[in-house]
């Protein structure tokens, strides 16, 4: 979604954009990328083909397109397309990293620092991410650019107006009835079903929540390799009848689903930014989330949501119960959360920062 937002912002500013996906792709994201108006190249390479083949194939693409800027979304093996761009003689090379360095060892950190030196500008999607990789951070300031610095923080942007518009179109009671949860309070979690996203902790905490608040259901949006395990876990915990597994949904549908949630949970064990938290806050929803990395930059503790230690089943359960029984606090958190996103994480702010960065670092220096 960051790539989609970036493409939309740049195209709106007059850039011609080609999005190149060198390994596997998801049809949902292909559609999203095409809808921006960008050209799309799907290389369908296999990771087993090796690094040298990837470099060779990318060099062919870069030389055919001959772009003014190559912007790499730094997801392993992110260093390889940067090297391919440099070997192809590309004029300017940018990159954005989305995950914190905290869970990784010295080798990835060394490779990221090498990558930053090879780039003209290297962006991180939160101060925590930048600090975890480089030891310090600096938010990119369009009015005072430090030309000697290679890496900066540019937070992800959230389209608050779009989220608000989509939410207003929803018939909430009708949607809840269609899902079979009419008359229930709704806890929602959105994200890929993988260990680091912390859904297992949430399922464990739901045992006490459901035992004490009988009119609560959990809706799980997303898919991933851990889904069978998590479904089995819900059954083992005796809460499977109170969990709705909605699978992977179109982004617009996710935004519609926020409207029926009373509380949104982001139980990740680590998180670069916390886009789900920011989107939920933009939708006026209170959030309970793990006190980690970029999430603690998005959520103002005890003002827009509750932050709990990652993996702490009891703390997560207690925070959920506290919010579910306190309507006024949920309303207050939702109002302040939306204000916070508008102030710090709006798509307009992202647009101002990224366009200024492109204009500054695209110049010959």
Interval 156-169 mean pLDDT: 95
Spatial distance between the Cα atoms of 307 and 283, rounded to a whole number of angstroms: 19
Fold of the domain spanning 2-157+346-362: Rossmann fold (3.40.50)
Q: Where are the domains of the chain?
A: 2-157+346-362, 160-344
Interval 211-224 mean pLDDT: 94
Residues whose CB is less than 8 angstroms from the CB of residue 276 and which lie 6 or more positions away in sequence, other chains included: 190, 191, 264, 266
- What pLDDT sits at residue 40? 96
- What pLDDT sits at residue 148? 87
The model's pLDDT over 308-359, given as tens digits with 9 standing for 90+, comes to 999 999 999 999 999 999 999 999 999 999 999 999 999 999 999 999 999 9
Helix then strand then coil, in percent of the chain rounded to 5, is 50, 15, 35
Kindly report the pTM of this predicted structure: 0.92
Token pair in block for residue 190? 């959105």
Fold equal for 2-157+346-362 and 160-344: yes
- What pLDDT sits at residue 37? 95
Instruction: Please report how many Cα atoms fall inside a 13 Å half-sphere around the Cα of residue 53, on the Cβ side.
Output: 10
Average pLDDT for the chain: 94
- With vertex at residue 281, the alpha carbon angle to CA 277 and CA 282, rounded to the nearest 5 degrees, is 115
Mention the CATH class of domain 160-344.
alpha beta
Interval 195-206 mean pLDDT: 96
Spatial distance between the Cα atoms of 30 and 80, rounded to a whole number of angstroms: 22
- What pLDDT sits at residue 364? 55
Q: How many residues does the chain have?
A: 365
Q: Is 360's pLDDT higher than 90? A: yes
- What pLDDT sits at residue 126? 96
* Pair 282, 294: CB distance under 8 Å: no
What are the DSSP calls for 262-289, one per residue? SEEEE--SS-SS-HHHHHHHHTT--EEE
- What pLDDT sits at residue 365? 52
What are the DSSP calls for 133-165, one per residue? HHS---B--TTS--TT--EEE----B-HHHHHH
The model's pLDDT over 68-117, given as tens digits with 9 standing for 90+, comes to 999 999 988 999 999 999 999 999 999 999 999 988 889 999 999 999 99
């Amino acid at each position: 979604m960051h790539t989609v937002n970036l493409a939309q912002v740049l195209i709106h500013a007059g850039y011609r954009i080609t999005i190149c996906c060198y390994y596997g792709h998801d049809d949902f994201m292909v559609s999203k990328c095409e809808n921006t108006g960008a050209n799309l190249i799907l290389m369908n390479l296999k990771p087993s083909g090796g690094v040298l083949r990837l470099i060779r194939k990318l060099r062919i693409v870069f030389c055919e397109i001959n772009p003014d800027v190559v912007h790499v979304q730094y997801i392993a093996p992110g260093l390889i397309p940067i090297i391919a761009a440099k070997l192809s003689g590309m004029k300017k090379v940018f990159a954005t990293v989305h995950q914190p360095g905290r869970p990784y060892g010295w080798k990835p950190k060394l490779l990221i620092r090498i990558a930053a030196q090879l780039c003209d500008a290297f962006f991180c999607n939160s101060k925590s991410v930048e600090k975890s990789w480089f030891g310090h951070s600096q938010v990119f300031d369009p009015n005072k650019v430090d030309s000697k610095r290679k890496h900066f923080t540019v937070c992800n942007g959230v389209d608050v107006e779009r989220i608000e518009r989509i939410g207003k179109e929803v018939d909430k009671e009708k949607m809840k009835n269609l899902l079979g949860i009419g008359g229930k309070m709704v806890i929602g979690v959105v994200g890929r079903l993988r260990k680091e996203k912390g859904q297992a902790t949430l399922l464990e905490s739901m045992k006490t929540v459901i035992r004490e608040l009988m009119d609560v259901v959990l809706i799980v949006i997303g898919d991933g390799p851990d889904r069978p395990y998590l479904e089995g876990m819900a059954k083992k915990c005796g809460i499977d009848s109170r969990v709705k597994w909605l699978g992977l949904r179109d982004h617009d549908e996710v935004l519609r689903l926020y409207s029926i949630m009373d509380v949104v949970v982001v139980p990740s064990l680590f998180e670069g930014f916390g886009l789900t938290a920011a989107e939920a806050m933009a939708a006026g929803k209170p959030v309970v989330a793990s006190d980690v990395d970029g999430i603690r930059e998005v959520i103002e503790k005890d003002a827009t949501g509750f932050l709990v230690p990652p993996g702490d089943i009891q703390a997560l359960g207690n925070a959920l119960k506290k919010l579910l029984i306190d309507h006024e606090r949920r309303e207050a958190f939702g109002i302040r959360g939306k204000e916070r996103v508008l102030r710090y994480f709006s798509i307009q702010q992202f647009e101002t920062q990224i366009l200024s960065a492109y204009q500054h670092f695209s110049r010959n220096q």
